[in-house]
Amino acid sequence: MINKHRLPRFDYKARNDNLKEFFNREFNLIFLLIILVELISFAGYFSFLVSAIAFFVLAILTLIVSFYRLEYGLAILLAELFIGSMGYLFSFSFNGTNISLRIILWLIVMSVWFGKMIFAWIKNKKLNIVFCKSSFFKYFVILFIFIVLGIVNGFINHNQFKNIFFDFNAWLYFLLIFPVYEVLQQEKNIKLIGQVFVASSIWLVLETLFLFFAFSHNLIIAPFTLYYWIRNTRIGEITMIAGGFPRIFLQSQIFVLTGFFFVSMILSRLIINKELRQNLKLVVINFVLLILFLTTILISFSRSFWLGLIGGVLICWLIWLLIIKIKFKQFLLINCWWLLVAIVSVILMIVIAKFPYPSSTNNFNAVDILSNRASQFTGEAGASSRWALLPKLWTKIIKEPIIGQGFGATVTYQTKDPRVLKINPSGEYTTYAFEWGWLDVWLKLGLFGLLAYLAIIAKISITSYKLMLRKQNWLIFGLTIGLLIITIVNLSSPYANHPLGIGFLVLTTALIDYFYQYKNSLA
């Protein structure tokens, strides 16, 4: 255990220089490009031609820059992952199949990486794959074996081919571990990916706040244009709660949640070292980001995100009290900051919703709505459907608990989802995609497949813990907390078996392994 109460001191000049270097012209360019892509996607809602052209332009651009510098192609892929939720910001229909931009970007990056590896092998007579040398490699190989068995098992159990394919394809994102390891061997590439993550998180905040304002004030573009663009591109879900309160839920907001704890760890470090006054600029930036991030999570009205938020707070407490062993006065001060952030976030949410111009359509009590949402586990359509699914899903699991039933395995249950009721008034619904994320993994891969996945998370956590003992690095704290939050959220929402969660796990693995193996001294 670490016996010191203080983290290594900041070199303020160096930190300020690092901030300027991070939020530089490249960062601004990344942020502006993200906005441009979203605007073009919105324009594509009005014109299929615009959407199709943008789809192929982005694909060709990614192919070109990947050949030139693989890290640029990976940056484009990750930017789409961070902001694109389900991956359909742009899509192209072929023979009745809707092909998402995410699939194309994955194919391009993987193909270019594989081609470069083969070319290097032919040239040097030696195949040099960085990830194969990692201590994590054998853990991923074991999981890959169970994924393959899940495919085979799906066919053995006569699951529909279409269901097997669409159920399995998200797991292909695990293969990104190979190019990610290659790219994240240089600090400049780590910085690039960090800039993409931060720019994307800030954009998600701004997008959420704008949508919240637009729907709470019933702007002319909100009920039809914005709503159907978001629904058709599967960026998120917008529903109206009691009193005209709009719920703005974007699946990609999971990265805002992880970002909240990244920023929290930086601010806590300043508090623990009693260095708030010396670095007011960084304190203000962090405080504003915390408010914006938490406001976004509140507006999402996602109970799964709120569960992850609570889990993240508990993990932070454990880190501060058991690993860093801070003084109780410092612990109390950090939590007072969090309380202040929570109060300001609720106030900001109310101010946006009730801003008098243009006239607001709201008549709600924010505290009542938040408390009702947090405590409403039955009655509401989404919650009721989850609980109706649970016993049916569990019954299916225990039929083959060890080997599972493979990808494409389905469960039939009664749902109150209005979209299902519109198609089938009886409410009977059959699906291969389930909200209970870890139970989904258990059903498809079996008990040992589930344990293989959890073993990777455990390995990452243990490696992070060892690295924390060597050198208290805020990035390592943030990465570990972020991954554990996704693990918690996956209890009730599918993220660990989706590119959003898999992508974060892959990045976390590569970064923590890099710091552990090569950069133990980096603060």
pLDDT tens string 67-115: 999 999 999 999 999 999 999 999 888 777 788 999 999 999 999 999 9
Element (H, E) at 248: strand 245-250
HEC letters along 49-74: HHHHHHHHHHHHHHHHHHHHCHHHHH
CA gap 361, 219 in Å, rounded: 10
CA gap 438, 106 in Å, rounded: 24
Number of Cβ atoms within 10 Å of the Cβ of 471: 16
Q: What is the mean pLDDT of residues 231-236?
A: 91
**What confidence score (pLDDT) does residue 361 get?**
61
- Under the banding of pLDDT at 50, 70 and 90, the label for residue 14 is very low
Q: State the alpha helices, DSSP H only, in 274-365.
A: 280-300, 303-318, 328-354
Asked if residue 478 has pLDDT above 70, the reply is yes
Distance of CA 383 to the CA centre of its chain: 22
Highest mean pLDDT among 116-125, 273-282, 375-384, 448-457 belongs to 448-457
- Under the banding of pLDDT at 50, 70 and 90, the label for residue 131 is very high
Query: pLDDT, tens digit, for every residue of 154-186?
Result: 999 999 999 999 899 999 999 999 999 999 988
Distance of CA 145 to the CA centre of its chain: 25
CA gap 51, 38 in Å, rounded: 11
Asked if residue 274 has pLDDT above 90, the reply is no
Contact (Cβ atoms closer than 8 angstroms) between residue 24 and residue 293:
no
Kindly state the percentage of the chain with pLDDT values over 70: 89
**What confidence score (pLDDT) does residue 15 get?**
54
Give the angle subtended at the CA of 409 by the CAs of 403 and 410, to the nearest 5°.
140
Q: What is the mean pLDDT of residues 21-30?
A: 90
- Under the banding of pLDDT at 50, 70 and 90, the label for residue 366 is low
Asked if residue 9 has pLDDT above 70, the reply is no
**What confidence score (pLDDT) does residue 427 get?**
73
**What confidence score (pLDDT) does residue 520 get?**
47
Give the residues across from 240 on adjacent strands.
246
- Under the banding of pLDDT at 50, 70 and 90, the label for residue 367 is low
Higher pLDDT, 46 or 487: 487
Dig out the tokens for 269 from the structure: 């470090």
Q: What is the mean pLDDT of residues 358-382?
A: 63
Least confident stretch, 51-65, 145-159, 285-299, 356-370: 356-370
Asked if residue 475 has pLDDT above 50, the reply is yes
**What confidence score (pLDDT) does residue 522 get?**
39
Asked if residue 8 has pLDDT above 50, the reply is no
Highest mean pLDDT among 5-14, 254-263, 274-283 belongs to 254-263
- Under the banding of pLDDT at 50, 70 and 90, the label for residue 521 is very low
Query: pLDDT, tens digit, for every residue of 215-232?
Result: 888 887 777 788 889 988
Q: What is the mean pLDDT of residues 483-511?
A: 94
Element (H, E) at 363: none
Q: What is the mean pLDDT of residues 380-394?
A: 80
- Under the banding of pLDDT at 50, 70 and 90, the label for residue 204 is very high
Give the residues across from 248 on adjacent strands.
238
CA gap 516, 261 in Å, rounded: 21
Contact (Cβ atoms closer than 8 angstroms) between residue 134 and residue 168:
no
Dig out the tokens for 418 from the structure: 């209005």
**What confidence score (pLDDT) does residue 10 get?**
42
Q: State pTM to two decimals.
A: 0.91
**What confidence score (pLDDT) does residue 381 get?**
58
- Under the banding of pLDDT at 50, 70 and 90, the label for residue 523 is very low
Q: What is the mean pLDDT of residues 486-497?
A: 93
Average pLDDT, the chain: 87
The closest alpha carbon to 401, from 459, 435, 451, belongs to: 451
- Under the banding of pLDDT at 50, 70 and 90, the label for residue 5 is very low
Torsion 8-13-14-16 (CA) sign: positive
Query: pLDDT, tens digit, for every residue of 257-273?
Result: 999 999 998 888 888 88
- Under the banding of pLDDT at 50, 70 and 90, the label for residue 428 is confident
Contact (Cβ atoms closer than 8 angstroms) between residue 296 and residue 254:
no
Higher pLDDT, 346 or 382: 346
Q: What is the mean pLDDT of residues 440-455?
A: 96
Query: pLDDT, tens digit, for every residue of 311-365?
Result: 999 999 998 888 888 888 999 999 999 999 999 999 999 889 888 777 766 666 6
Q: What is the mean pLDDT of residues 487-516?
A: 93
**What confidence score (pLDDT) does residue 279 get?**
77
